[in-house]
Structure 1
């Protein structure tokens, strides 16, 4: 008996190395979840502080928001260099960096703390940013740091830990476990080629439509209040898919142009006077806030929820105003994500179609708008569908959502052929690998 136990204990499946590997993932997942929950608490209270200031006078935004943008940019450059951006491109780039020193610089705990602090301050100033992208980098940083401390001698473990941390960040930030897994596959690792994703979507849609035509619309795990009949679904699917894809692709194209640096006098002025430009962006956000009745600030969670529930009192142009505020917040150079604002924008754009499509439920329009616009921005259709379904319990709209995502993906690719996160990650990798300029001796010209 003791011999059998000894052989069982010596089996590779039960080795200390394997258990250490598992414990590392489990502990890291718990830590990422705790960090994400803490981040959510801080960001919520930051937004609440800003709303409290606006309750005294909405005009205070004309002072708080520009000053807050300048402060966050200064802290980013002087105290937390490397914490700018959403965090997802840096996480993608970290999986491709060959040297440990470079990965450590991108995914240090110092940058993770800076990401949380700076995003929270940005929300205190009314920036139209989200915490989900930063949470991806925070999760990846936590898992990567644990890997450095434990030093598990398994080939490729560093990349695995980064992917797991990023996925855990998405899952914890949105409370969407399945979306975290899909996001890691589709966006962080790109294990699926883009043409393969399109083929899978098309196959699923065709098979699903055929099943509905033969057996009727049914669900296994309950129903959602927002449903669409096949006969009436085509019109909102076409509008939200093609329209959301084109608008989202154009939005991404603008952000990428500013990220690369604009040519001419304007680009030179932005590089020369970054703090003045950040202040102007903050002033633009404040003016949009006054026009929108203070509805475009922050992540947009509450506004999107009110549209889905049919209790919204938002202005008709909320989606467009929120999109402009998000663009200004991003190009200003302050840290912050675009996940949550994009979902809010999509809900606003979809909800604005209600007067023109009275036969379609408002909740269905909002959900289709969220998937269409979000897919147009990030060009990750499967992630968009899964994350919206998990967040809204919209399984009854699975096929319309998949069709919308497929159309939005194609339309976005016509407007912008470069996926946002991957393009920014490639730019980051190029900057990392670029040789430093050679110093000239006094005799050289």
Structure 2
């Protein structure tokens, strides 16, 4: 057993030193990225709250600028970044991995997310954080020069795990995400190294910036397990909406793929203007990740079905444009909106519980990683006591979504990157 465990770990001391340095660098860089992104989205919302019509000018221009530059100069920073990590671990081609993951890509991701937030794009920070983490860890391989495929792919998965841990202060979810999503094709032995370094990243993050929950401490809420069967219709609804979202996203992304500059600019302008209209109608409420709106709903403030609809279609439009941006937090905010509106049908269950369950169900339906969805939401709200109902709604929603579209959204997008990089 001892020999088996040691075989899965690097042999040279400098490798462990590099992993420690990469862990520390990821914590510092991603924390900076989160702070700048938060500043940018608050700045846009403060401007548009007073003068909503400015979004009709700012957002389309920013979309065109980002899409054009990313398309012709920094192609591999597009989207959330998670498909790039999956493609990198699926590929045996070193050249492909170097194009998808590098220090340069990490810098580009930080810059474009800042611009996107400043322009009112309804994007999240977790996918980009995962991409940045993966790029940093893989970038350090230049110094440690790992040669075994198991360790190289494990290194990429560690970086992705680190990104999620730092973004959401969710160590269990970070590790599970490396297993469920990034490392689907990894040998299970790699999980030993992933678990060790993920723990180190969490320790560094806690020491560097504290240990606060990402959303709100809801640990005082609980549910009678005899009532959890009532959550099945909510899980089915969230699963259906999440499945339709994923299918529509993949269809539209493939539909709008183009390589002529005129069409690239025209499509970006049109999609940016659609998002701008939603920003105008909501006075900027649908812009950004959606974290503030989730906090409002967890405090029992209703934002209405119009918020849910606008956030849903604005996020779909933004993803279709391929501008850099994450999917987790926008999906969580949509799920929170669904739960907030459905809560009136559950008089025996606290509103906050319904919202948490809806967030889990909808996120699971969209990303099709039920374990990650459960733990990231429960860790963000300090409600691990809700694990049983959370698992139930996640797997029900995941099953419903799978009937609508078989392939998970990130895997499908990763296939596109592999096709592009193999040309």
TM-score normalised by the shorter chain: which range applies?
0.7 to 0.9
Q: Given the superposition, is the C-alpha separation of residues 224 and 427 from structure 1 closer, same or farther in structure 2, using an over 3 Å criterion?
A: same
CA 242–270 in structure 1, closer or farther in 2 if over 3 Å, else same: farther
Give the CA deviation at 1:271. 8.2
Which of residues 403, 419, 423 in structure 2 aligns to 1:414?
403
Deviation at 1:269, TM superposition (A): 11
Deviation of the 1:155 alpha carbon:
5.2
For residues 221-246 of structure 1, give each alpha carbon's deviation from its aligned partner in whole angstroms, at most 9, with x where no partner exists: x98232221233222x2122111111
Determine whether 1:57 maps to 2:51.
yes
SS at structure 2 position matched to 1:342: helix
Q: What residue number does 2:124 align with? A: 130
- Work out which of the residue numbers 386, 390, 402 in structure 1 matches 2:391: 402
Rate the CA distance shift 1:16–1:163 in 2: closer, same or farther, 3 A: closer
Structure 1 residues 40 and 223, CA, compared in 2 at 3 Å: closer, same or farther? closer
CA displacement, residues 293-316 of structure 1 (integer Å, 9 cap, x when unaligned): 432110000101111122x25233
Is 2:334 the counterpart of 1:339?
Answer: no
2:102 pairs with one of 88, 91, 108: 108
Whole-angstrom distance in 2 between the partners of 1:78 and 1:132? 24
TM-superposed CA distance for 1:327, in Å, is 0.6
1:428 counterpart residue number? 417
- Which piece of structure 1 moves more, 352-361 or 362-371? 352-361
Going from structure 1 to structure 2, the CA distance change for 1:358 and 1:156 (only over 3 Å counts) comes to same
> Any idea what SS the aligned residue of 2:347 has?
coil
Gap regions ≥5 residues in structure 1: 1-11, 194-221, 435-445
1:37-436 matched pairs, under 5 angstroms: 37-154=31-148, 156-190=150-184, 224-235=219-230, 237-261=231-255, 273-310=263-300, 312-434=301-423
What secondary structure does 1:334 align onto? coil
TM-score under structure 1 length normalisation: 0.82
Tell which structure's C-alpha radius of gyration is larger: 1
Distance 1:427 1:16, change over 3 A: closer
**TM-score (ref. length: structure 2):** 0.86
> How far is 1:272 from its partner?
5.3
Larger displacement relative to structure 2 (314-323 or 113-122): 314-323
Distance 2:174 2:354 in 1: 25
| Alpha-carbon separation, structure 2, partners of 1:74 and 1:17 | 45
Change in CA separation of 1:347 and 1:20 when aligned onto 2, cut-off 3 Å: same
Measure the CA separation in 1 of the matches of 2:149 and 2:249. 37
Is the contact made by 1:128 and 1:341 (CA closer than 8 Å) also made in structure 2? yes
The alignment's C-alpha RMSD in Å is 2.3
Distance 2:294 2:319 in 1: 20
Is the 1:289–1:295 Cα contact (8 Å) retained in structure 2? Answer: yes
In structure 2, relative to structure 1, the CA distance for the partners of 1:362 and 1:113 (3 Å cut) is same
Question: CA 1:303–1:154 in 2, change beyond 3 Å: closer, same or farther?
Answer: same
SS of the counterpart of 1:180? Answer: helix
Q: Which runs of 4+ in 1 moved over 6 A?
A: 267-271
Q: Following the alignment from structure 1 to structure 2, what is the Cα–Cα distance between the partners of residues 62 and 351? A: 29
CA deviation map 1:169-190 (0-9, x unaligned):
1111111111110000000011
- Give the 3-state SS of the residue equivalent to 2:410 in structure 1: helix
- Number of equivalences: 388
Q: What is the CA deviation profile of residues 354-399 of structure 1, one whole-angstrom value per residue up to 9, with x for unaligned ones? A: 2222332111111011011001101000000011110011122211
